[in-house]
Amino acid sequence: MIYNIYAYFKDCFPGEKIFVNMKDFTENIQSIPERYIMITETGATETPWFQFEEFPFQLFFQDIDAPKCRKLAHEFHDAINNKFGLILPSVVVDGVTYLEVVTAQISVITKPQSLGYGENGFAQFSSNYNIKRKG
């Protein structure tokens, strides 16, 4: 489902550099850019629902400009938080087709929050979410 999330965000934010677990799908780059978003699967506790599958994930943001990083984190938050019945589009990655996913609910685990500044001096934010879909 992580690749479907990637496809959804690429549709919503076509100009942004988005990675999935640091894998880039649009081009081979030699260095990590100053501004980027990374989507990762998280180890958040999954609630044992019998009717739903759950998929927790994290969004990580980095930008040289702290206010822009904060704004970007909140724009992504607004695009996905508390969505019911959102369709995550199908996507092909490395020749594998991941069919579209109809979500039951996407909810926040942690809202966008500052992580301070990384070793490179760039501002960093993160937020965590949980997707539920019928199992």
| Global confidence as pTM | 0.87
74-105 CB burial, b ≥16 within 10 A, e <16:
bebbeebeebeebebbebeeeeeebeebebbe
Find the mean pLDDT for residues 69-96.
94
Task: Work out the pLDDT band at 133, boundaries 50, 70, 90.
Answer: confident
pLDDT surpassing 70 at residue 77: yes
Burial of 71 (0-12, 13-18, 19+ CB in 10 A): middle
Q: Give the residue, 30 or 74, on which the prediction is more confident.
A: 74
pLDDT score, position 25: 44
pLDDT score, position 135: 66
- Are 56 and 41 within 8 A, CB to CB? yes
Find the mean pLDDT for residues 55-65.
94
CA-to-CA separations, 94 to 7, 16, 22, 25, in angstroms, rounded: 14, 21, 15, 9
CATH no. for 2-134: 3.30.2000.10
Query: What pLDDT, in 10s, does the model give residues 10-55?
Result: 999 999 999 898 665 445 556 667 899 999 988 655 566 567 788 8
Nearest to 130 by CA among 40, 64, 58, 60: 58
